[in-house]
Amino acid sequence: EIQLQESGPGLVKPSQSLSLTCSVTGYTITSGYDWSWIRKFPGNKMEWMGYISYSGSTNYNPSLKSRISITRDTSKNQFFLQLNSVTTEDTATYYCASLGYWGQGVMVTVSS
Amino acid sequence: DVVMTQTPPSLSVAIGQSVSISCKSSQSLVYSDGKTYLHWLLQSPGQSPKLLIYQVSNLGSGVPDRFSGTGSQKDFTLKISRVEAEDLGVYYCVQATHFPWTFGGGTKLELK
């Protein structure tokens, strides 16, 4: 069974970087699928942030411009999100997912 | 970006009732490979999203056949026959044909 688990700080200060890890078990991330970061804002709005493919290529939402980076560590079967220069508008629940499989989500608050 | 217009924003239903949710896109969702990457998700209260239907009409793993998806090009519908209590939550359509992937605004299904 494929399982995903996010980890990372729940509180980040404005202007700092948000860093999250997604640990995948039950499947090797280099075998297939696109591995995404998706966030849900207070209310119902969902936003796809970007993905790293099984081959290592990345695709990002242009709305995040140059603030986002998604990388991976294949030896640990993990992929990572870094979002720079955060503001209060980045407060959301962050999910790692491959659409068919989702982590439980981590709530991140941006506040001083 | 492709705009996904999902209606209605909320539904109040009785157990056993059948309901439909509409999702309209601002562009055709047919990809160059001929497939249509329009999917439906359900986020039950307190849980992470779950894939219900992928590529318009294919049931996700373990999804009961009370759920069905139809549509083409820019106009899609999710139908739930004989709503059960476990079906309550927020439904999203999401398109993964065009970058960036985009979500509908969600439909909250509640008990009458």
Tell me the count of A-B CB pairs closer than 8 A: 48
Which one, of A97, A9, A12, lies nearest residue A47 by Cα?
A: A97
Q: What band does B4 get if pLDDT is binned at 50, 70 and 90? A: very high
**How many other CB atoms are found less than 10 A from the CB of residue A30?**
13
Distance from CA of A16 to the nearest CA of B (A): 25
Q: Which residue stretches of chain A have pLDDT < 70? A: none
Yes or no, beta carbons of A48 and B51 under 8 Å apart: no
For residue A95, list chain B residues with Cβ-Cβ distance below 8 A.
48-49
Which one, of B90, B105, B85, lies nearest residue B13 by Cα?
A: B85
pLDDT of B62 reads 94
Tokens of B104: 């509908």
* Residue in chain B lying closest to A46 (CA): B103
| Chain A (34-93) residues lying within 8 Å, Cβ to Cβ, of chain B | 36, 44-48, 59-63
> Per-residue pLDDT for B13 more than 90?
yes
Q: Alpha-carbon distance A75 to A28, whole Å?
A: 10
Strands B10-13 and B107-111: parallel
* Residue in chain B lying closest to A105 (CA): B48
Compare CB distances from A95 to B48, B54, B61 and report the shortest one's residue.
Answer: B48
C-beta separation of B100 from A61 below 8 A: yes
Strands B102-103 and B89-95: antiparallel
C-beta separation of A45 from A56 below 8 A: no
Compare CB distances from A61 to B50, B100, B108 and report the shortest one's residue.
Answer: B100
| Entry field: residues in chain B | 112
Helix (H, G, I), strand (E, B) or coil at A63: helix
Distance of alpha carbon B27 from the chain centroid: 17
Cβ burial, residue B22 (10 Å; 0-12/13-18/19+): middle
Strands A11-12 and A106-110: parallel
Mean pLDDT of chain B: 97
**How many other CB atoms are found less than 10 A from the CB of residue A9?**
12
Q: Which of A22, A44, A61 to probe the B interface (max B CBs under 10 A)?
A: A44
Q: What band does B9 get if pLDDT is binned at 50, 70 and 90? A: very high
Q: Which residues contact B30 (CB under 8 A, 6 or more apart)?
A: B36, B72, B73, B97
Q: Which of A46, A53, A98 to probe the B interface (max B CBs under 10 A)?
A: A46
pLDDT of B41 reads 98
DSSP character at residue B2:
-
> Per-residue pLDDT for B47 more than 90?
yes
Cβ burial, residue B32 (10 Å; 0-12/13-18/19+): exposed
Distance from CA of B26 to the nearest CA of A (A): 17
| Chain A (17-36) residues lying within 8 Å, Cβ to Cβ, of chain B | 36
